[in-house]
Chains A and B, each alone.
Chain A
Amino acid sequence: MGFDMERFVAMGGLGGGHGRHLGIGYRAHGEDWAELALPYDPRLIGDPASGVIASGPIVAMMDMATSVAVWLKRGVFEAHVTLDLRVDYLRPALPERTVIGRGECYRITRSVAFVRGIAHDGDPDDPVAHVAGTFIGMRA
């Protein structure tokens, strides 16, 4: 396979400043999916009354997990841009829990990649968010 996930992670591919500052890390991957983790951090709270983290960091993680899923499915790294990304918040992530983001690329065309994924805080059958989005390849 042309896209080497371990090498990508080792080279800091997830580490572009934002991911590194958020503490986003690699967990697992397959032929068309990747799983990342976002540790709980009180600095990321979006609702002080409940201690629930903001949606921004979850969007960032899901953007990265689904991006990597595209490269895994294509079997090659190809620069692309996010066209759109929708996040449905199914329930709040529990404070103190690490949030796991699993992104999947379920369809690619020459220039468009369609992705979906879930975020959960321990039980994949009880997700906190569902995402759907598209990427556009930058190849001419």
Chain B
Amino acid sequence: MSAPRTAIGQAMVLPPYAQWLGCSIDWVEGHPQLVLPFGDHVMGWPGLLQGGAIAGLLEVAGIAALTHRLAQEGGGRIKPVTITTDYLRTGRDQHATHAVGTILRLGQRTANVEAVAWQEDRDRPIATAHLNYRVLRG
């Protein structure tokens, strides 16, 4: 598996959980965007994405966004503090699911990220999450 590269040429290694989910990075205009193909391991009700898998994908999108930005700022670690997920629409098995994290603020001690997940149409999100992290600068 080839490691995706960040804009500054470093390999971005997603955690084991991201690989277990089966998501990978699409680089869109220099920002990491996640793609999750459907599979039995992320299914809840027959044919539908499980809410926990959606929350997990949103979390990975948040981790990717922060890891990418922190790498540009000298490195650091993050720990989740609160994650609030809103479920807007049903995720279905016909489509892959995409997610991207937008950093609202990355400070010295905390970071606030908004992540959004969608399937066919980015203007019709299936879920959003507010993710607040503790930041430990490198």
| Chain A residues engaging chain B, CB cutoff 8 angstroms | 16-19, 21-22, 42-49, 53-57, 59-64, 81-89, 92
Q: Which residue of B lies closest to A47 (CB)?
A: B15
Contact at A18–B16, with CB atoms within 8 Å? Answer: no
Q: Any chain A CB within 8 A of the CB of B37?
A: no
Mind listing 7 A-B residue pairs with CB under 8 Å? A18-B41, A21-B40, A56-B52, A60-B50, A81-B90, A82-B51, A87-B83
Q: Which residue of B lies closest to A62 (CB)?
A: B52
A59 partner residues in chain B, CB cutoff 8 A = 51-52, 55-56, 59, 83, 85
| Chain B residues engaging chain A, CB cutoff 8 angstroms | 13, 15-21, 39-46, 50-53, 55-57, 59-60, 63, 77, 79-87, 90
In the A-B complex, list the 9 residue pairs whose CB atoms are closest, starting with the nearest: A60-B52, A56-B56, A54-B17, A18-B50, A17-B43, A17-B40, A21-B41, A59-B55, A86-B84
Contact at A83–B86, with CB atoms within 8 Å? Answer: yes
Q: Which residue of A lies closest to B58 (CB)?
A: A56
Contact at A56–B86, with CB atoms within 8 Å? Answer: no
Given A85-B84, A86-B83, A88-B82: A53 and B90 interface contact (C-beta under 8 Å): no
Q: How many A-B contacts at CB < 8 Å in the complex?
A: 122
Given A86-B82, A92-B79: A56 and B15 interface contact (C-beta under 8 Å): no
Given A21-B40, A48-B15: A81 and B55 interface contact (C-beta under 8 Å): no
Cα A45 to Cα B56 in complex, Å, equals 12
Contact at B16–A42, with CB atoms within 8 Å? Answer: yes
Contact at B53–A18, with CB atoms within 8 Å? Answer: yes
With both chains docked as a complex, state the minimum distance between the C-beta of B43 and any C-beta of chain A, in angstroms: 4
With both chains docked as a complex, state the minimum distance between the C-beta of B119 and any C-beta of chain A, in angstroms: 16
Q: A62-B52, A86-B83 are in contact. List 16 more A-B contacts (CB 8 A).
A: A16-B45, A18-B53, A21-B40, A44-B20, A45-B15, A46-B59, A46-B63, A54-B60, A56-B53, A56-B59, A59-B55, A59-B59, A59-B85, A60-B53, A85-B51, A86-B82
Cα A23 to Cα B138 in complex, Å, equals 35
Cα A64 to Cα B52 in complex, Å, equals 9
With both chains docked as a complex, state the minimum distance between the C-beta of A21 and any C-beta of chain B, in angstroms: 4
Given A42-B16, A46-B63, A92-B79: A54 and B40 interface contact (C-beta under 8 Å): no
Contact at A56–B17, with CB atoms within 8 Å? Answer: yes
B57 partner residues in chain A, CB cutoff 8 A = 56
